[in-house]
Structure 1
Amino acid sequence: MKIAVVGIGVAGAYLMNQLSDIHDVTVRGFERMPEKEHDAVCAWATCDNVMKDYAKQCGLNMDDYILHEGKKMRVDVGDGSDSGKNIDINLKGMVSYDKLKLIQDMIKGTDICFNKVPNKTDLESEYDLIVDSTGFHRHYLPKLKNELWIPCIQYKVKYDKVPFDDFYLKAFPSLSGYFWYFPLGNGYAHIGSGDFKRKQTHVFLDYFMRKYPCQVIKKVGRPVRITPPSHCLPFTDGRKTIGVGESIGTVYALLGEGIIPSTICAQLFIDNLHDKEKYVADVLSTFKIYTNVYNFIRKSINRKFNILKDFLEVLKIYKYMKSSEDRFGMEVNMLNMLKLTKI
């Protein structure tokens, strides 16, 4: 079997590593960025409890990539003033890590063509299977209608004196997005913001950067799809192309987190390499709760969420996260979730 993997982000890198070890598979990767400019955009936070196993599967030690081990995350749910109300969440495995280095080490020794996004017709003539792991762009799959996505911007910065010594989030009204501060060690941090309504992103970023002066090292911007897999069908074009990762909606919308879900999705693809129908069914089953989260977020953004009418939706999400604390790397508390719904 000859497979083309297009898009070498989290999911694409994991696929290249794992597929290259299968004896009856020939795999080649394609990445639109030049090799020297290849980057891992968006925040670099994940859960060590989960990622260490995927790193080990690739012959790597996750400890070599960790930049900061979180102890407590502060979530500001106030109205934007300095006296905002705070929720302090105990962390149990959440880390910031060198995402780009891990990707680069995953793909080391694999066959990748950088600075190229091939024509689909050319790929179909040469490969038995085309994996679309192009993230938000969903380059080779049918375009989606009425999807929900959030524009995001992020800076890598350097501080003489860091404003926080651990993770900090500022939640925007109606759960339309949030600002993040993720420490990277040695005075470095990622600060960024995403807001569906596009109102808070630049306002709060400018305010934060004035209050805590820093040196800007790098700036990146990209949208994040928060439409769940159940709303991203079809996962295939009906011929040779199939989607993996964010291209089919594997972002946990409540947190805007896609690193672990996209890696899980990549593993599901590998497990069902010769059975597309089983792969699609497993993705829909594994990420079923993402539909509940999406409904909750969409209602909140549109100001149609009602705690009495929609409490069962919140309860389902709470039970899922509470039973998966090790996967999310944080303690999950119903009172905190209710505070978030009242923003």
Structure 2
Amino acid sequence: MHYFKKKSILITVLALALLVISTTVAQATEYTEPDLNAIKSIIYHNNVEQITAEKLESKTLEELLKILDEHSKYYNPEELHHLIERLTGEYSGIGAYVKEEEGRIYIVEPIKGSPAYRAKFRAGDEIFSVNWKSIRGMDLSEAVNLIRGKTGTRVVLGIRREGIEGTKLFSIKREQITIEPITYEIIEGIGYIRIHTFSELTSTSFLNATGELSAQGITSIVIDVRNNPGGSLDSVVEVSRLLVPKGPIVHIEYRDSKTTHVSFLRKPFFENIVILVNERSASASEILAAAVQDTKVGTIIGTTTYGKGSVQRIYFLPGGGGFKQTEAIYLSPNKNIIDGIGITPDYIVEQELDSETDIQLEFAIEYLNKRKINQEAAK
């Protein structure tokens, strides 16, 4: 089969797309015959599972996607353009992480300071309609394209919230959104770092934050990756190298090879570390949580994580679109499987949806302050 010539069109390695968590196989449209041949070549050479040439022969793209896992996807040129915008951290829209589950589009988290944040959208809110049109059953990428638009224009979103009857309409003015990878502050003598996404800028921002906190005498930190859907594998490895002592961070198993990313840190910068997680902490977030938990350098608090233990690559295609497929699985430092299982916290603390108090964060701060008191008493 002549189209199984390997092509070097890799653009990045992702643990999870940054603004859209896709949980279903997308419909494929607008692809060309060269695109299809390139995709077959990519699958044949690099998919995490060995798929024979015979199984790929005479398949349409739609048929190919059905034999791949749920994280594999075709992007038409417009969708790929939007994806690249998200990966670079700037785009025009309402400013929210969204996902699809069982034909419905949900808010994962509004980006702080964005139109969605100011409208007080919450994690778990369903976006029922866009400009008075129901989007139930709509492909995730199609729904996102309807929500997005030129800066300064408006979009009317119908929001449904658990426990509240009916649909509430919001007229949202689209803005240019710049995603800050992290925010940080000091709470009751404890450093608090919120990692919103693992992008190209995250490790540098994290280094700056930890340096500033250390300079102020902070020895205990909370790292919050709740509602963080993941991002760059390289980014989370670099962040982990600032926290995890010398040894493995994560094991990556490709179809025909294995690799281990390691830390060279001789002594952690902080005496006490807590990682906050929840059911929407996925992929790269789970790599960090697993590394901290397995090496016993810190404590995991919250609820069991999403359970996405696979690595994807995105390729450019001849027709201008892109193709993402799963090419590896990852294991924790102790070689525990994460995919489909998640990370179970050391302390399970539920967060009530309607509570104005951040119960999980308060628990973490109290836990660290008690630990500091005990450590001081033992000196």
What range describes the TM-score normalised by the shorter chain of this pair? under 0.3
TM-score normalized by structure 2? Answer: 0.23
In the superposition, the TM-score normalised over structure 1's length comes to 0.25
Greater CA radius of gyration, 1 or 2? 2
Q: Which structure features the higher share of strand residues?
A: 2
Between Structure 1 and Structure 2, the one with more helix by share is: 1
